[in-house]
Amino acid sequence: MLLAILTISLMAGFFGLVLGYAAIRFKVEGNPVVDQIDALLPQTQCGQCTYPGCRPYAEAIANGEAPINQCPPGGQATIQALADLLDVEVLELNAEHGEHNDIPLVAIIDEQFCIGCTLCIQACPVDAILGSAKHMHTVIADECTGCELCVAPCPVDCIDMVPIRQTIDDWKWTTPDILKLEPAGEH
């Protein structure tokens, strides 16, 4: 009887150690679906989807609180990728949140007319605008995501959205829609 109790106690201790090790070793941080959704979003943090950034929007999609068609910077390609990932119906981009531009844009401030009101600085979700009160402002072009959120608050209408000039560093050859490859030997 004592041997049976000792054997069961040793087995319980051994399995407890194995389960404790497995819980630490194979611990899952966060929700992997949220991570996958967040990886597909454009990371502009623009807030056009009504969420303060891409991660909160990804969490809302994963929880079923938001549809997949609220991201103008991502456009239809992102909606298609999200639909494929989540195995849901592909929706059209919700025009209520903005429209997608195929050509990336950057904000340009006409510094001659800037009055230094700081409203554009407050509206920029990525801190791409430099300046201080009652002094002219300027945009850090490399940081600007082209979300257009700085345009509406400007009282003197001195902010324009212009296409980013392509250089040899960022130019990409467009891929044909359909690639027709002939098998070797057939001509």
pTM above 0.75, yes or no: no
| CB-count burial class (<10 Å; 0-12, 13-18, 19+) for 92 | exposed
| Domains along the sequence of the chain with CATH | 32-97 (1.10.15.40), 101-167 (3.30.70.20)
SS3 87: coil
Q: What is residue 38's predicted lDDT score, i.e. its pLDDT?
A: 93
> How many whole angstroms separate alpha carbon 92 and alpha carbon 68?
9
Q: What is residue 136's predicted lDDT score, i.e. its pLDDT?
A: 82
The torsion angles phi and psi of 163, rounded to 5 degrees, stand at -65, 145
The answer to whether 159 and 121 are in contact (CB under 8 A) is: no
Q: Tell me: the pLDDT tens digits for 35-83?
A: 999 999 988 888 888 898 899 999 999 999 999 999 988 888 899 999 9
Residue 81 structure tokens: 């990728």
Examine the pLDDT at 165 and tell me if it is beyond 80: no
6 pLDDT tier (thresholds 50, 70, 90): very high
132 pLDDT tier (thresholds 50, 70, 90): confident
Nearest to 137 by CA among 125, 129, 148, 145: 129
Q: What is residue 171's predicted lDDT score, i.e. its pLDDT?
A: 67
Q: What DSSP state is assigned to residue 97?
A: G
